[in-house]
């Protein structure tokens, strides 16, 4: 293991995944004379990791590559967590391998969580699956993206039946359709609700707070 390390060390780092570029010190708005308005910084979502990933990450990644043919090798090891970025049409193959292979054996998917990045073209909607292997005591994250125009991702309920409600919640909150889910209905919001509340284009709502002689705007309109 240690002998292979030195030679590949210094070469090209894969480019980080940039989410957006943040300008100025206090966000978009009128320019100021302080000079801070000229600041431009990329928001780096995650760093693409290059092999070796370290500890057991390589075992899992290699095994997954061996089991699922032609899986793009996009991995992040930020914060000591192994995250696989999976094309959405390969998701079912991947989770099935993750669960069934004895070397991987991720028995449970503990959480399904949506994230909305409205600025990211053709990948506005992300779904993050947190898998847990009790056999090997490991956790990995799988991240899948889809676009607003085609917000459909395969349901993993056929592999992990316990993700039923989690997928319903993600549909309810983000409008992501999980294909072949047994009953994809709203779960937290009323059945006849319009819109998907946790998308970024859905307002928080709220009313101004009245004080004697002053008014504080609702939380989503406050400058902070």
For other proteins, the binding residues (CB under 8 A) are: 19-20, 22, 43-46, 78-79, 81, 83, 107-111, 113, 115-116, 128, 130, 132, 134, 137, 139, 141, 160-162, 164-166, 169, 173, 186-190, 197-198, 204, 219-220, 224
Residue 137 CB, nearest approach to other proteins (Å):
5
C-beta closer to other proteins: residue 47 or 50: 47
Three-state secondary-structure class, residue 92: helix
C-beta closer to other proteins: residue 8 or 217: 217
DSSP one-letter string for 196-216: -TTSTTS-----PEEETTEEE
What's the rounded Cα separation, in Å, for the pair 147 and 48? 21
Residue 112 CB, nearest approach to other proteins (Å):
9
C-beta closer to other proteins: residue 4 or 220: 220
Residue 67 CB, nearest approach to other proteins (Å):
21
Tell me which residue of 50, 48, 77, 73 sits closest to 63, measured CA to CA.
73
Residue 99 CB, nearest approach to other proteins (Å):
10
Tell me which residue of 35, 146, 22 sits closest to 155, measured CA to CA.
146
C-beta closer to other proteins: residue 88 or 168: 168
**Eight-state DSSP code of residue 47:** P
Residue 63 CB, nearest approach to other proteins (Å):
21
| 207 contact partners, CB below 8 Å, separation of at least 6 | 218
Q: What's the distance, CA 49 to chain centroid? A: 16
Three-state secondary-structure class, residue 51: coil
C-beta closer to other proteins: residue 8 or 14: 14
Are 174 and 114 in contact by the 8 Å Cβ rule? The answer is yes
C-beta closer to other proteins: residue 2 or 224: 224
Straight-line distance from the first to the last Cα atom of the chain, in angstroms, rounded to the nearest whole number: 49
What's the rounded Cα separation, in Å, for the pair 172 and 192? 11
Residue 88 CB, nearest approach to other proteins (Å):
18
């Amino acid at each position: 293991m240690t002998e292979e390390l030195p030679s590949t060390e210094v070469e090209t780092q894969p480019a980080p995944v940039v989410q957006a570029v943040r300008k100025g010190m206090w966000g978009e708005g009128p320019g100021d004379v302080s000079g801070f308005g000229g600041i431009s910084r990329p928001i780096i979502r995650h760093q693409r990791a290059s092999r070796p990933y370290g500890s057991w990450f390589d075992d899992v990644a290699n095994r997954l590559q061996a089991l699922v043919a032609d899986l793009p090798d996009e991995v992040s090891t930020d914060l000591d967590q192994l995250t696989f970025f999976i094309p959405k049409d390969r998701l079912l193959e991947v989770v099935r391998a993750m669960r069934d292979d004895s070397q991987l054996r991720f028995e449970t998917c503990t959480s399904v969580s949506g994230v909305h990045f409205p600025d990211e073209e053709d990948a506005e909607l992300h779904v993050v699956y947190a898998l847990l292997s009790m056999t090997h005591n490991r956790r990995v994250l799988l991240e899948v993206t889809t676009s607003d125009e085609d917000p459909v991702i395969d349901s993993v309920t056929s592999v992990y039946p316990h993700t039923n409600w989690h997928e319903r919640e993600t549909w309810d909150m983000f409008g992501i359709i999980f294909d072949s889910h047994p009953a994809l209905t709203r779960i937290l919001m009323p059945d006849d609700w319009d819109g998907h509340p946790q998308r970024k284009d859905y307002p928080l709502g709220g009313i101004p707070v009245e004080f004697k002689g002053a008014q504080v705007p609702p939380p989503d309109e406050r400058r902070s």
